[in-house]
């Protein structure tokens, strides 16, 4: 039964928010702006199969379990990228998006939080490199950071209203990068150093304090007006984002919205609107909880799509849907993919990616190009008509997806590089390369390599490093070369102090 009082209260809050932002209500000017609006709809920890949209060749049990009608609509109206990748953990992906750099180059290769403190687990034999544990910055002289010219700043210089809503996770506490406004966002709602909320519940003030003995470092900032309400964080961020879109349109400004949900990351808190129906379908409590969080996220996407239609700007908006890495260990495996978040296997790095740009993308199409998250940087700038080359202090590794957006039949089998030189949560340090159908993983702990044919063996069950030695050697040499070009930080041997051997390099010592 619909809670009428709650719905009325939410409507009143939305109206109040809008009036505060734009003054007295007036009709919105829907005159198209010269440049397209841009939205990144980024989901946290969502696996490749955690949707009713099949990214595999055939539908799977998880596709049939989850209900994501808004994603289905986006797939019908745009391009589905079936071979899209990100880093195996969150902060590296997010910094790749705003910098266009591969993680091996920007050096923020694990998740960040407290200034000067690494989350790495100790290893007896291996010492992790001095990675950029304080995240990204635009200022020189900030220890253990990478200095960049960020995407939102380039868009703001070109006249865009730049809006961040939700999870940021770009820089550690007490560094400039902890605040998204440092990177050129005009507006920041809910973004700070932490990569997860204390709670998804407004009645808990989005905090874990008093509930699980939590630390206030996880409290979501700037949402005090919602405290005590019976509403989910995912819904709050959606309302806030739509209000910002309305304001930009009222001001006749092209907008860039980075709607970066904390969902579907832990803490494991069901969305009460959807949880019971999944229990009634026979799912176990954790399975039903996960399904409710996914449907909550998808409902947000649906509300956003409906708002773009209502406001008359859908035809002039480039919308990109992506996840930041694979699903975590606590949730059902994303079969047929192997492993989960943090791992070099497909379950850790392969992500759902959908793009809609009316008049450019062909509806209901798929593209199998090798695509990686740093590609969003040049794609967005070129879509906006911004001449960015030569304007960034960093070397950009990403390649524009515009050719694939205009022609979904176009396929690229280019090399993709992954780098995680850490020991964390039972995952040891690795580098990996994908070229066409082949994938090679180099494990630094013992120096071994694995080789898989993803076209024949998407589940990475058969290691072909022995049977296909020439391919293994070529990929290992190429991976080592690419890591050197990017200045990748490599672990060291604790006993000798020497850097561990790169892939493709035959060790003669140690």
Q: Which of 147, 151, 168, 169 is nearest to 160 (CA)?
A: 151
Q: Is 72 helix (H, G, I), strand (E, B) or coil?
A: helix
- Residue 68 corresponds to which tokens in the numbers above? 């994501």
| Ramachandran class of 251: left when φ > 0, alpha when ψ lies in -120 to 50, beta otherwise | alpha
Angle at 431 (CA atoms; ends 430, 435), nearest 5 degrees: 140
Task: Quote the crossing angle between the two packed helices 90-99 and 376-383, to the nearest 10°.
Answer: 30
Residue 317 has what pLDDT?
A: 98
What does the chain come to in residues?
510
Residue 17 has what pLDDT?
A: 45
d(CA 248, CA 244): 6
- Residue 243 corresponds to which tokens in the numbers above? 């209000």
Domain ranges of the chain: 36-415
Residue 487: count other Cβ atoms within 10 Å of its Cβ: 11
Tens digit of each residue's pLDDT, the chain (510 residues): 345 445 544 554 454 444 433 333 333 333 445 799 999 999 999 999 999 999 999 999 999 999 999 999 999 999 999 999 999 999 999 999 999 999 999 999 999 999 999 999 988 889 999 999 999 999 999 999 999 999 999 999 999 999 999 999 999 999 999 999 999 999 999 999 999 999 999 999 999 997 656 799 999 999 999 999 999 999 999 999 999 999 999 999 999 999 999 999 999 999 999 999 999 999 999 999 999 999 999 999 999 999 999 999 999 999 999 999 999 999 999 999 999 999 999 999 999 999 999 999 999 999 999 999 999 999 999 999 999 999 999 999 999 999 999 987 777 889 999 999 999 998 999 999 999 999 999 999 999 999 999 999 999 999 999 999 999 999 999 999 999 999 999 999 999 999 999 998 753 333
- Residue 425 corresponds to which tokens in the numbers above? 């949560």
Fold (CATH) for 36-415: Alkaline Phosphatase, subunit A (3.40.720)
**Distance linking the first and last C-alpha atoms of the chain:** 68
Do the Cβ atoms of 131 and 111 come closer than 8 Å? no
d(CA 221, CA 9): 22
* Those residues with Cβ within 8 angstroms of residue 302's Cβ, 6 or more apart along the chain or in another chain: 69, 70, 73
d(CA 108, CA 128): 13
Our CA dihedral for 393, 394, 396, 402, rounded to 10 degrees, sits at -40
- 471: Cα separation from own chain's centroid: 31
Do the Cβ atoms of 85 and 418 come closer than 8 Å? yes
> What is the DSSP-derived secondary structure letter of residue 31?
P
* Those residues with Cβ within 8 angstroms of residue 506's Cβ, 6 or more apart along the chain or in another chain: none
| DSSP β-bridge partners for residue 7 | none
Taking only the tens place, the pLDDT of each residue in 213-259 is 679 999 999 999 999 999 999 999 999 999 999 999 999 999 999 99
Residue 280: count other Cβ atoms within 10 Å of its Cβ: 9
Are β-strands 371-372 and 79-85 bridged in parallel, bridged antiparallel, or unpaired?
parallel
Do the Cβ atoms of 102 and 486 come closer than 8 Å? yes
Computed on alpha carbons and rounded to an integer, the radius of gyration of the chain in Å comes to 22
d(CA 402, CA 481): 28
Q: Is 291 helix (H, G, I), strand (E, B) or coil?
A: helix
Residue 20 has what pLDDT?
A: 37
Task: Quote the crossing angle between the two packed helices 285-310 and 233-250, to the nearest 10°.
Answer: 10
Residue 410: count other Cβ atoms within 10 Å of its Cβ: 13
| DSSP β-bridge partners for residue 189 | 165
């Amino acid at each position: 039964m619909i809670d009428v009082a709650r719905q009325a209260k939410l409507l009143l809050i939305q109206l109040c928010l809008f009036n505060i932002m734009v003054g007295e209500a007036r009709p919105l000017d829907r005159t198209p702006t010269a440049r397209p609006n841009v939205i990144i709809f980024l989901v946290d920890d969502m696996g490749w199969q955690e949707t009713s949209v099949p990214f595999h060749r055939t539908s799977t049990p998880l596709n049939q379990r989850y209900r994501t009608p808004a994603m289905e609509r986006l797939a019908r109206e745009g391009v589905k990228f079936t071979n899209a990748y990100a880093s195996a953990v969150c902060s590296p992906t997010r910094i790749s998006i705003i910098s266009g750099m591969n993680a091996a180059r920007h050096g923020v290769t694990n998740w960040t939080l407290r200034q000067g403190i690494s989350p790495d687990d100790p290893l007896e034999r291996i010492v992790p490199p001095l990675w950029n544990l304080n995240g990204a910055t635009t200022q020189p002289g900030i220890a253990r950071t990478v200095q960049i010219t960020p995407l939102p700043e380039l868009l703001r210089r070109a006249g865009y209203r730049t809006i961040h809503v939700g999870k940021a996770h770009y820089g550690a506490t007490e560094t400039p990068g902890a605040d998204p406004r440092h990177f050129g966002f005009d507006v920041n709602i809910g973004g700070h150093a932490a990569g997860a909320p204390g709670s998804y519940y407004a009645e808990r003030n989005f905090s874990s304090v008093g509930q699980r003995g939590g630390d206030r470092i996880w409290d979501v900032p700037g949402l005090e007006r919602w405290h005590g309400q019976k509403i989910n964080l995912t819904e709050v961020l959606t309302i806030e984002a739509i209000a910002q879109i309305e304001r930009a349109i009222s001001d006749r400004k092209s907008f860039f919205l980075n709607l970066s949900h904390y969902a579907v990351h832990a803490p494991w808190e069901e969305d009460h609107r959807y949880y019971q129906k999944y229990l009634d379908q026979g799912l176990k409590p954790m399975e039903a909880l996960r399904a409710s969080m996914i449907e909550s996220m998808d409902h947000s996407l649906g509300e956003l799509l409906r708002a773009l239609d209502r406001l008359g700007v859908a035809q002039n908006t480039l919308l990109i849907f992506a996840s930041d890495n694979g699903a975590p260990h606590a949730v059902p495996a994303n079969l047929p993919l192997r492993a989960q978040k943090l791992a070099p296997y497909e379950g850790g790095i392969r992500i759902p990616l959908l793009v809609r740009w009316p008049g450019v993308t062909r509806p209901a199409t798929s593209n199998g190009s090798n695509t990686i998250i740093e590609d969003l940087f040049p794609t967005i700038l070129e879509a906006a008509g911004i001449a960015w080359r030569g304007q960034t202090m960093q070397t950009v590794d990403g390649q524009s997806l515009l050719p694939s957006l205009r022609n979904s039949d176009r396929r690229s089998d280019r090399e993709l590089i992954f780098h995680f030189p850490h020991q964390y949560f039972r995952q040891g340090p690795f580098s990996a390369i994908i070229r066409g159908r082949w994938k090679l993983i180099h494990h630094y702990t013992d120096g071994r390599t694995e080789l898989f044919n993803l076209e024949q063996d998407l589940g990475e069950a058969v290691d072909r490093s022995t049977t296909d030695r020439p391919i293994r050697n070529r990929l290992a040499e190429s991976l080592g070369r690419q890591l050197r070009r990017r200045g990748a930080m490599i672990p060291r041997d604790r006993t000798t102090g020497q850097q561990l051997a790169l892939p493709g390099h035959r060790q003669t010592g140690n």
